[in-house]
Amino acid sequence: MRVLSGIQPTGRFHWGNYFGAIRQYIALQTAAETPGGRAFYFLADLHALTTIRGEPETLRQHTRDAALDLLALGLDPNRATLFRQSDVPEVTELFWALLTVTQMHLLDKGHSYKEKKARGLPADAGLYTYPILQAADILLYDSDTVPVGADQVQHIEITRDLAERFNHIYSADVLVPPRAYVLDDSAKVIGLDGEKMSKSYGNTIEIFESPKKLKKKCNSIVTDSLSVEDRKEPEGDNVFTLYKLFATPEQREELAAKYRAGGMGYGEAKKALIDAATAYFAPAWERRAAWEARPDDVEDVLRTGAAKARDVGGTVLDRVRVACGLAARR
């Protein structure tokens, strides 16, 4: 199994990023340890340039934080390859080769671009061609499995289409068409307002939120206005939906029974959520502090990861170069 996924260093990671993607990164890093298999995870700093422009120090800081967060959450550099996207120049060359086989209508359909445009946010050629750079990210490592949240499935399908189109045009199996790996229970994590949790919607709860802010945010989760005496059906309630992500089946059942019995206020359910989230991420807080004290080691992980990624990616890129009629570099 060849696993790959990228995450943008555009701000601190939130519960949506964790349950939608990062938790699967950690699980798959072991599953991918097969002969010839490997997990590649990268900090998508080139993609982040479509959001963070003219603020180099902010991007650098977010990239450092993103590396620390992933390591703290359990990414093991001895198992998985962790690197910065911009440290692998091969990806932008493959991006160009893919652009030459991309039909415009494919990009017109891209939901990130359509969504941002519809919300009146600035949309440039970088955002428009974003799915193609993403395809290059995936195809450069012969990845077959891409752990993502539901919002990214369309982009992985675009990647499949492009790989197949490329192979068809050049009449050879040059690129490996990948598949999205999505878990049903966390494909779309909701935010404070019940909509998809997303930085650009301002409804996120960060993984490494301070205890004070965590409490404040959880207390602001939108609920209905039923009185505390009412019996409530837990399914569909925002607090319960988030609680389920952290709880064991027994804990879920216990809280569900309290909802159904009536007499429980939302304050109690929110406290259960805060406690569950705090306990869940406690080991990650400890690991984060340990990595934070060793910045040179973090940089080392990223540089070693980039060297490995360039090695694997260089071979695939040469395959593409030769197929296209360009000279191989090795």
- Kindly tell me the burial class for residue 212, based on how many C-beta atoms sit within 10 Å of its own C-beta (0-12, 13-18, 19 or more): exposed
8 is in an annotated binding site: yes
User: Which residue among 2, 3, 4, 17 contacts ligand AQP (CB under 6 A)?
Assistant: 17
Interaction between residue 205 and ligand AQP (CB under 6 A)? no
**∠18-24-28 over CA atoms, to 5°?**
150
Find the shortest distance in angstroms from Cβ 15 to ligand AQP.
8
198 binds ligand AQP (CB under 6 A): yes
86 is in an annotated binding site: no
| 62 touches ligand AQP by CB under 6 A | no
Query: How far does Cα 62 stand from its chain's mean position?
Result: 14
306 neighbors 87 (Cβ within 8 angstroms) = yes
76 marked as part of a ligand binding site: no
199 part of the interface to ligand AQP, by CB under 6 A: yes
**Interacting residues with ligand AQP between 118 and 157 (CB under 6 A):** 148-149, 151-152
150 is in an annotated binding site: yes
Catalytic machinery residues:
116, 196, 199
Chain-centroid distance, C-alpha 94: 22
Least distance to ligand AQP, CB of residue 242, Å: 11
DSSP-assigned letter for residue 230: S
Q: Which long-range contacts (CB under 8 A, 24 or more apart) does 127-132 make?
A: 127/50, 129/95, 129/99, 130/47, 130/50, 131/106, 131/107, 131/155, 131/158, 131/159, 132/95, 132/98, 132/99, 132/102, 132/107, 132/158, 132/162
CB-nearest residue to ligand AQP = 20
Contact between 269 and 259 under an 8 Å Cβ cutoff? The reply is yes
> 39-58 mask for ligand AQP (x: CB under 6 A)?
------------x-------
Please select the residue that binds ligand AQP; options are 12, 179, 188, 252, rule is CB under 6 A.
188
- CA dist 155 and 111 (Å) reads 8
Comparing CB distances to ligand AQP, the nearer of 21 and 207 is: 21
Tokens of 192: 């404070």
200 is in an annotated binding site: yes
| Known binding positions for ATP | 8-10, 16-17, 149-151, 189, 196-200
| Known binding positions for L-tryptophan | 137
> Which residues are near ligand AQP by CB under 6 A?
7-8, 10, 16-17, 20-21, 51, 148-149, 151-152, 188-189, 196-200
